[in-house]
Each structure stands twice: as structure tokens, then as C-alpha cells.
Amino acid sequence: MQNIAWEVVSNDPYSCVSTLNTTEIEPEIQLNLYPNPSSGEVTIEISESVELLTVTDMQGKRLIEQVPTSNQLRIDLAPGIYNVQVYSDSGVISKRLLVQ
């Protein structure tokens, strides 16, 4: 996690100065796609077990939807641009994949 702070300043003499703090949360899951860009076969590596893995094309058509049984999966895709998403208890991670 990383704390980020902003100070809000106004030129109005009757206003007060305050600080706004936020916390940027880093996802616990790691999703690796390689090679990216690819010529067809892609390896998907996930750092922890996930509930669901999906691959969609740019029109939103879901091409793959499965519960992975291991942390590594190989898929073969036609040329195009795809979104790969993994869903787990710690959140959702999405990465773009280019197949040439």
C-alpha cells in the first residue's frame, strides 16, 4: 500500500487549508501473460488460486471461462486483442493481450 496526500489550498482568506489522504491498494494477485505480443500460444501464470479466469475479445465476447486447476495455463488464440481477467477473493486483475 502507498499513502498519497494532497493539500487543498484556497486564495479565499476565510477558507481553511486541509489535507486529503488516500491509500492506494496494491492487488495481491499477480497475473503474467507471455509472450505478449504473441503469435498464437500464450502462457498465463497466476500467483494464487483464483475463482475464475476469462478471456474476452474486444467486442466483449467471452471466449474462455474456466476455473483454473493450476497456476499455469496455456491457450492458443487467433490474431486479435484480448482482455484476460482473473477473479479471486482479493479482487479482479485484468490485462490486455495482443496476438499477431
Q: Give the pLDDT confidence of 24-75 residue by residue, as tens digits.
A: 555 578 899 999 999 989 999 998 888 999 999 999 999 999 999 999 999 9
28 vs 19: CA distance, rounded Å: 28
| pTM more than 0.75 | no
Residue whose C-alpha is closest to residue 28's, from 90, 88, 71? 90
In the sheet where 91-99 sits, what is the strand order? Answer: 62-66, 52-57, 80-88, 91-99
Cell of 19: 489535507
Higher pLDDT, 82 or 16: 82
Domains delineated in the chain: 28-99 (2.60.40.10)
Residue 27 has a CB neighbour count (10 Å cut-off) of 13
